[in-house]
Structure 1
Amino acid sequence: MVMQEFAMLAAAHWLALVSPGPDFLLLLRSALRHGRRNGIGASLGIACANGVYIALALAGFSLLQRSPAALTVMKLLAAAYLAYIGWSFMQAGRAAPPVMAGEGAGMERGGFLRGFVAGFLSGGLNPKNGLFYLGLFTLMVGAGTGMHIKLWYGLWMFTAVFVWDAGLVLAVSNARVAGWIARYFARAEWLAGVILLLGGTMLAMTVVLAV
């Protein structure tokens, strides 16, 4: 019974994990613009932000769900952050493309901590993460499942997020893969920035109109 429950939970989590979103765009940019250390830091930051929401879901409560005011504030913060990173992507996309040869000398190097903060903000300021994990545990985990099993589920999901994101960073920062991306990266980065900026603006407008 536990293995069946775990399989369903893992499959749903995996489908959500591999779906491209703001975190994916941030990881791609971190690896190609600032190097592997920055990208791995962003991966850990995203995993830790997910870990916070997993812990809240395991505790059996959700501040976001119980407090409409907190949810509104979180959405506005998320909208502002999406718009900010979108603008940053657009500005960087107009510049010369980065050196795409692993850890090239011309790369704008960024530290591990800088990447971690960016990743944590990206994952933490997304209220959908909190609602996703709460829904996942509510719908797919039985009431009789022990806390030690639930903790195992949470640890597995935290690890899966980090391993997937770090693997993505290592893959795209590989010299061969990075060289192939180099021809399209600047345009793709600018387009991703436009999408994120519009997404942040639309989210803010939706929240303001709903108040």
Structure 2
Amino acid sequence: MFSSEFLLLAGAHLLALASPGPDFLLLVRGALRHGRRNGIGASLGIALANGFYIALALCGFSLLQQSPSLLIAMKWLASVYLAWLGWMFIRSSRKPAGLPQPGQARGEARAGFRAGMAAGFLSAALNPKNGVFYFGLFTLMVGAQTGLGVKLLYGAWLLFAVFAWDAALVLAMSQQRVRAWLGRGLPMVERGAGLLLMLAAVGLALARV
């Protein structure tokens, strides 16, 4: 039987997952432009980066909060990465959609998976809000009396939930009808997402200034 502590933790985490952000835009664009394997790779990369922050939170401290200079550096890196990612989206929108179909060449599929995983990991790892979120999640919702073994189970669930949620989104995008419907408007989606990411990068940079 699930404890009320776990249900609160899982529920808050689910609400955070459902909130669109850079990771969501990256997944949608990757799945539509490069195919299912690229999207699954991005899902795994995002989950691994979240796992890193979950591990920090489980250790009972926040590296980012203890090192303001590191936090500032990560925010500058994040703003540069978001701007670059937004520009890539806009540049890609000028190309024909050319949505990949099942049965791609094996080499292309593997390359797409690796590229997706790298992009997903960078997107999540360079977002310092992830570290603050997990630290706050465990601090506010997990009692001091909760044992380490239970906390590890919580962390494993959160890691699995991130990957399962993102992979489910990618699989939904892989459905032929969904791809055909979204594919027609893919250039517009990429331009809009690119502008949003570049605006987010500017806002993050101005906040540092």
TM-score class normalised by the smaller sequence:
over 0.9
> Matches of 1:93 and 1:25 in 2, distance apart?
14
Aligned position for 2:60: 60
Equivalent pairs counted in the alignment come to: 206
Q: How does 1:121-200 map to 2 (within 5 A)?
A: 121-200=122-201
Q: Name the amino acid aligned to 2:203.
A: M
Aligned position for 2:26: 26
TM-superposed deviation, 1:29: 1.0
Between the two proteins, what is the percent identity of the paired residues? 59
State the TM-score, normalized to the length of structure 1. Answer: 0.93
Provide structure 2 residue ranges, at least 5 long, that are not aligned to the other structure.
none
State the TM-score, normalized to the length of structure 2. Answer: 0.94
Cα-Cα RMSD = 1.7
Q: How does 1:64-83 map to 2 (within 5 A)?
A: 64-83=64-83
Pick which of 66-75 and 95-104 moved more. 95-104
TM-superposed deviation, 1:102: 5.0
Aligned position for 2:11: 11
Q: Does 1:96 align with 2:96?
A: yes
Deviation beyond 6 Å, 4+ runs, structure 1: none
Q: How does 1:84-123 map to 2 (within 5 A)?
A: 84-99=84-99, 101-102=101-102, 110-123=111-124
> Matches of 1:18 and 1:99 in 2, distance apart?
25
Q: Cα distance 1:101–1:181, how it changes in 2: closer, same or farther (>3 A)?
A: farther
Whether the aligned pair in 1 keeps the contact of 2:57 and 2:138 (CA below 8 Å) is yes
Q: Deviations over 1:160-205 (max 9, x none)?
A: 0001101111110211110011221110111110110111122112
Q: Deviations over 1:106-125 (max 9, x none)?
A: xx865211111110000100
Q: Name the amino acid aligned to 1:157.
A: L
> Matches of 2:38 and 2:181 in 1, distance apart?
21
Q: Deviations over 1:74-118 (max 9, x none)?
A: 10011011001000000011221232655679xx86521111111
> Matches of 2:17 and 2:78 in 1, distance apart?
19
> Matches of 2:21 and 2:68 in 1, distance apart?
24
Paired residue secondary structure (1:94): coil
Q: Name the amino acid aligned to 1:180.
A: W
Q: Name the amino acid aligned to 1:67.
A: S
Q: Name the amino acid aligned to 2:51.
A: G
Paired residue secondary structure (2:150): helix
Paired residue secondary structure (2:97): coil
